[in-house]
Every structure is written in C-alpha cells, then in structure tokens.
Chains A and B, each alone.
Chain A
C-alpha cells in the first residue's frame, strides 16, 4: 500500500558512527564519530548501543533547539532481542515511545508510521531512530568473536552507530512525498550468510508495487537506494526487476556499498544492519539532496525478519522492505 504525503518534511537529523564507518568513504558527513573502541564509554557492547541511540536522540533535540515536550512521539527499533537498545534508551526521555521491529528496514517502517501520524494531523513532530552495533549483532545472530569462526564472502558486516531523524509538518527543504509498506516475502532460503539473496526479493516486490501504485517509471527517481543488500544482493535485485521489465541499473545503489569501501575495508559483501540505510540516508544522501545533486530519491531498506530459534528449527528466512520517497524542494 502506497501512501502519498503533502505536509511531511525532514527537519533535521543526527548521526553517530563508529570505527568502520569512520574509515569508509562518507565519514565526513556524520555528526559524531566515536572511534576509540566499540564500548562508547560503557562496559558492554549492548550498553554502548543503548547509549549511542539515546545520544542520537538527545543531540538531535538539542541541535534543533527544542525540548522533550516539543516532540510528540519517538518511534525506534533495533536488532537486539526485545529491541532492548531502544527500550532502554527511552528511559532517558519524557516522550511517548513506540517500539517497532523490521530488522534492517526498521528505520523506513518508523518513517512510514511517523509520516502517517503527521499527515493525519495527529501530531507535529516525530523522531524516528534506529541503531545497530556490530558486536551485539554478532552475538545475537552469528557467532561471538571468541568463537573465532571464519566468515563467508557473502556475509555482510553489521554497521555500528545510531541515527535519528526529526519529521515535522513545518515546511523544510526535504519533503517526504510517499511511502510504501512492505509485504513479507519468503523464497525458502535459510542461509544466514547470504542475506542479500534473502532480501532482494522483498526489495523487488516493494519497488514494483511502489512504481505501479504511483504510475511512474524507475527513471522518475534520480536515485533508488536499498539498505543493505550488499554486492551480491544488488546484482540479484537488478536481475529480479529486469524480469519484470523494470531497469534500475543506471540509477540504483545500495547503502551497504556507500557506507563502506569494499576494496579497502575487510567488510565482505558490504555493510548491513538498520544503521546502514539510516546512516547513509541521514548524512550523505540528505546532504547531497540539499546540495542539489539528487532531487528525487527512493530509499528501500530491506530487513531479514528471522528468529534465531526458528532458524534452528529449520524454518527459512522471511524478509520485508519498506520504501520511502524523498524530494528536495
């Protein structure tokens, strides 16, 4: 289902990044980089993620010179069990909170919900946040570092950081024009080391429906971005869409390949995690849109929404993708 918006704008963003992101190609665009270690001044990785998320929200509120009571909702989610980083971080705020989960597509889901609230005139300002932490994700979904397992080429590297975006009904130079909610897809793949292949089908479906619903072609957008398909998922998506007669090979890129430089960094197939799309969108892409490089951008973060328990029970991996269309005005 694609919703059109007439009065939803991006007021500002705040991004916090870590070591790998600092060594990547777009490090100049982040608001804050903490590259001492992965602990962010705390004693566990999980607490570090919580603190990064909390800081991204509080620093965003400070940046736009508002206070907690000016914000109607915070919508946030992350990869931890029970979206722990978000739930714990929100203890620091006196703002109504809605926790969401779409794995790596969480940020887009948040923007979809927030934009609908604002469009329906139910509120004026919504902050959407997300975070991910490499070591937390390793412990949660793959193997802890201590295990010392080698990684496969198709694996992606979970990004570390937090990003928050303030959506508002007050006019600004970036407008959210429409959004498409994803439909859960499952092609029966159960390989956790090849998420790009799992999620490409969800991205293809959402992009197809988005273009159909709005009666536009893929070249309507200056740039179509997926969240973290990685280099292999990117090829698969282009192939999938070609079969449906949609050619995105000229104006398509993947945030996971923008955030890191695969040639110089040991990042396997590219970046992943909710922060991959959120960091790239909130820093580099919005900046380039303001500079006039891109006018219309479609962001389609994809999420592998699987449960580790179900994976052990030999279930395959479902995936979802939400699309958000932005326009510089």
Chain B
C-alpha cells in the first residue's frame, strides 16, 4: 500500500515542479521535458533514481524523468560489456521500444487522421 502513496507523492512532485516552471518562467513544455530527462539521467548517475523506483514504483517509472534514467542504465550496461564505446552503443538500448512505438503510432495516426482545432 505504501508504494501507491509514494507513487502519488513522487509523480505529483514532478508535476508540481513542471507547473511551477511553466507558470513562472518563459520556458516552454519542450524545455521542461528535456530538463526532466536530464534530471532523471543525473539522478541515475548518482545512483538515486533506482532507489526512488524501489519506493515509488510506477510513480517514478511513468514520468519522463524515467527516460533519462533508462538512457543511463542502457549506456552503463553496454559500457561494462564493451568499454567506452558502449556509451554510444547502449544509450538507446532500453528506450528503443518506446521510441519505435511512438514513431510507428505517429506514422499511422498521421495517415488516417487530420488535425482538428
């Protein structure tokens, strides 16, 4: 039951930061998204993000910060197998499923639907 509570807290906290940035700065949603990816990556580099996932579960895996966390995870795994080259080889290992699905879905949606107001 605790996980539900922490998931709510952590994900809500991220959304709150996003809202504060949008309301008080000139940054656009694009900036906020990129910023969160970088923050997620940094937290993972410091070994913190995995601990958050342990407590908050999907609350930490669903928001975009998790994308940064997975980039680092993929890169680090490949580094241990292939050395420095692994950095570039493995960076999209864990996220490629998400990216591919997004590209394919976007293609078919654009094929069948027209933009509305």
Contact = CB atoms under 8 A, between A and B. Distances in A.
A149 B115 contact: no
B26 A134 contact: no
B117 A149 contact: no
B28 interface: yes
A241 B17 CA distance: 40
Given A147-B29, A149-B29, A37 B116 contact: yes
Contact of A145 (B28, B29, B117): B117
Contacts of A144: 115
Nearest to A193: B26
A149 B29 CA distance: 7
B105 interface: no
Nearest to B110: A146
A47 to B, nearest CB: 12
A149 B28 contact: yes
Contacts of B29: 147-150
Interface residues of A, number: 17
Contacts of B114: 39, 43
Most buried by A among B26, B28, B29, B117: B117
A147 B29 CA distance: 9
A191 B117 contact: no
B116 A145 contact: yes
B36 to A, nearest CB: 15
A8 interface: no
A317 to B, nearest CB: 13
A108 to B, nearest CB: 28
A191 B29 CA distance: 15
A38 interface: yes
A297 interface: no
Contact of B117 (A43, A134, A148, A150): A134
B26 A145 contact: no
Given A144-B115, A145-B116, A145-B117, A191 B28 contact: no
Nearest to B26: A191
A52 interface: no
A198 interface: no
A135 B115 contact: yes
Interface string B75-92: 000000000000000000
A223 interface: no
A1 B77 CA distance: 70
A19 interface: yes
Contacts of A191: 26
Interface string A136-147: 000000011111
Interface string A110-151: 000000000000000000000000110000000111111110
A48 to B, nearest CB: 12
A135 B117 contact: yes
A7 B29 CA distance: 53
A143 B114 CA distance: 16
Contact of A150 (B22, B26, B116): B22
A315 B22 CA distance: 21
Contacts of B115: 45, 135, 144-146
B117 A38 contact: yes
A100 B28 CA distance: 32
B8 to A, nearest CB: 22
A19 B117 contact: yes
A38 B114 CA distance: 11
Interface in B82-117: 114-117
Nearest to A19: B117
Interface of A: 19, 37-39, 43, 45, 134-135, 143-150, 191
Interface of B: 22, 26, 28-29, 114-117
Given A37-B116, A134-B117, A146-B115, 8 more contacts: A39-B114, A43-B114, A45-B115, A145-B115, A147-B29, A149-B28, A149-B29, A191-B26
16 contacts: A19-B117, A38-B117, A43-B114, A134-B117, A135-B115, A144-B115, A145-B115, A145-B116, A145-B117, A146-B115, A147-B29, A148-B29, A149-B28, A149-B29, A150-B22, A150-B29
